[in-house]
Amino acid sequence: MGKRYFGTDGIRGRVGSAPITPEFMLKLGWAVGMAFKHHGGCRVLIGKDTRISGYMFESALEAGLSAAGAHVQLLGPMPTPAIAYLTRTFMADAGIVISASHNPFYDNGIKFFSSGGSKLPDSLELEIERLVDAPMTVVDSAALGKVTRVEDAPGRYIEFCKSSVPTSTSFKGINLVLDCAHGATYKVAPSVFRELGAAVRVIGAEPDGLNINAKVGSTDMAALRESVLASGAGMGVAFDGDGDRVLMVDHEGKEVDGDELLYIMAVDLHQRGLLNGGVVGTLMSNLGLELALKNLGIPFVRAKVGDRYVMAELRERNWLLGGESSGHLVCLNHTSTGDGIIAALQVIKALQRSGQTLSQACEGMRKCPQRLINVRYAPGAVSPVDDPTVQAAVAETEARMGEAGRVLLRLSGTEPLVRVMVEGQDAALVEQEAQRLAEVVAQVFAD
């Protein structure tokens, strides 16, 4: 049975367009409360990022949950992984995050965590969808859920992040720039790194509800690059709007993506005998990562794109480390979900152990030229991925690239985009074929 509302990462869309409306959020809150009451639960945490619509949707969800008899604890603006952690530590039945992650401010969405801090199973998402379409009821007044605010949530999460590195850790002498994307990390991330002793310059930490991810953060690294070069910092760290992704730049302003950060962490764990298996990437992971890990004798497998698929593969194999080139990195030896701050801490600690700079640590991985082009389509339009013309163009590209190349077309799970990816040894050929294939896909939409 297919899902009507849930995508690969919760429910997401444009504010004011179904289902991202106050009416739907009211009903969704009620449905979640009813679903968890059926499973014996009745306490839910709610956190959010800094986009302006978060206030509106927080109130609607709060009302719906209370109507179902579920008690609510409000966390305020907090990174998505913080809600996962606090859901576990407060022994709540569920955690809700109001966020559209790396999307612009005019989008918003809802993510859910189970009591264990992981994504909800498909069966529970289907039950919630069924209840959303059922008539809404209200419990007796004496049984309405109560709402409280958790005042010490930031401090709890800061200490949790710091606990992911040894207690003897000191980042004294490390000079870095943090780009908080005007998002959910704007308060906690600077505190984490400063309390560990680093000299920290912060940009993208003045949210106004409208500027989240706007020319800052992991989706636009130009401001971070300029700040690192201007300040002479040793590196820069960029989070996305909800703090579950991280990318970096080295002292020369060169971008270091999620594949390279994954490589640095894998090498560190492998050398210390703590990797416990291999590494999970995705269909979008650079071939260079796979080859570099193979040279070290580290197993590597690809999951479908999306952190839930990476997580499922890790749990199936009982491995610890996985992630995506976008910077969504999972360190299961420290936390239950992708966490940008914790991943950044692990990378910097690995650099300390090795005595290498960020650029030096990346030298063991030679990235293959890869070109990704996003082709936007109207929501609700038929996907062109299975179109015969597109399939023929893909076959032509694969023939031109040969055995040393890869071609991938996939629909985004969070936006109305077709992602066209071409990878190979010849950079000029990769660019040429990616542009040609993207034009074919765009033409199918035009037709």
Binding site, annotated residues: 101, 240, 242, 244
- Give the Cα separation of 383 and 444 in Å (integer): 9
Out of 53, 101, 164, 218, the active site residue is 101
User: Measured between alpha carbons, how far is residue 443 from residues 171, 205, 384 in Å?
Assistant: 52, 40, 10
CA angle 49, 107, 390 (to 5 degrees): 130
Query: What is the largest distance, in Å, between two alpha-carbon atoms of the chain?
Result: 70
Show the tokens assigned to 398.
């694969």
DSSP state string for 326-395: TS-EEETTT-SS--HHHHHHHHHHHHHHHT--HHHHTTT--PPPEEEEEEE--TTPPPSTT-HHHHHHHH
Q: Which amino acid is at 121?
A: P
Residue with structure tokens 């703590």? Answer: 274
Tell which residue, 408, 386, 411, has the closest CA to residue 397: 408
User: Measured between alpha carbons, how far is residue 313 from residues 260, 263, 271, 340 in Å?
Assistant: 20, 18, 23, 20
Residue with structure tokens 């679903």? Answer: 35
- Give the Cα separation of 247 and 180 in Å (integer): 11
- Give the Cα separation of 47 and 286 in Å (integer): 33
The SS3 call for residue 325 is coil
The SS3 call for residue 418 is strand
User: Measured between alpha carbons, how far is residue 288 from residues 291, 395, 407 in Å?
Assistant: 5, 23, 15
Binding annotation for Mg(2+): 101, 240, 242, 244
Query: Has 101 been annotated as catalytic?
Result: yes
- Give the Cα separation of 85 and 374 in Å (integer): 33
Catalytic residue set = 101
